[in-house]
Amino acid sequence: MSIHIPVITIDGPTASGKGTVAHRVAKHLGFHYLDSGALYRLTALSAKRKGVDLEDEEQLALLASFLPCRFSRGHVLLDDEDVTDLVRAEEVGVAASKIAVLPALREALVNLQVSFRQLPGLVADGRDMGTVIFPDATQKIYLTASVEARAQRRYKQLIEKGFSANMEDLVKDLTERDARDSARATAPLKPAPGAYILDTSDMSVELAVQTVLDLYAKSAAQVN
């Protein structure tokens, strides 16, 4: 029955704005929201807290299989603790990017991600939502932006949350993450077949959200 539940996938590189756009689209439509990247960040954070080595693929996969997490009104909860800001820290993001290349870990998180597909619909953002997790999605978006634009967004985001940040380091980190995510053997970062490529380098959040809503409306009309 789940195949009849509409899904909008929004994939793209780090700091492209996909999370903000996906969350607003989900809110507008009254759909559930899945921040798949947060699952890797949560695994990395949990591993750090439990003393699990980030190179121990088996233990990381086991940890991910029983990850007690949920999303509620824009907040990320781990064991009912609000860790929204903690999972956005740069060190957690770097750790998440490193462990995301591990096949066993990715496989362990598949069922958890698929379980978010519930009525009335789902908006899922990440890197392989349209290519691997929801290949039958109603609408697929690949949201991207220049490295410079993404670094500026991440810098502003970190400063606003009280974290220290350096533009040169952010550009370097994002470039390295793009290369790592695109080159990994399992579920590499790339546009899904049939995905609409949306470059938000010079686009406001409001326009990006409206563009996704318009594309979804057209896709949903064709399905019906």
Binding residue numbers for ATP = 12-20
What phi and psi, each to the nearest 5 degrees, are found at residue 204? -75, 160
Q: Identify which of 69, 67, 57, 70 has the alpha carbon closest to the alpha carbon of residue 105.
A: 57
Residue burial 182-200, b: 16+ Cβ < 10 Å; e: rest: eebeebebebbeebbebeb
> Which amino acid is present at 90?
E
Residue 54's CB is within 10 A of a number of other CB atoms, namely: 16
Six token digits for residue 186: 């399992």
Binding residue numbers = 12-20
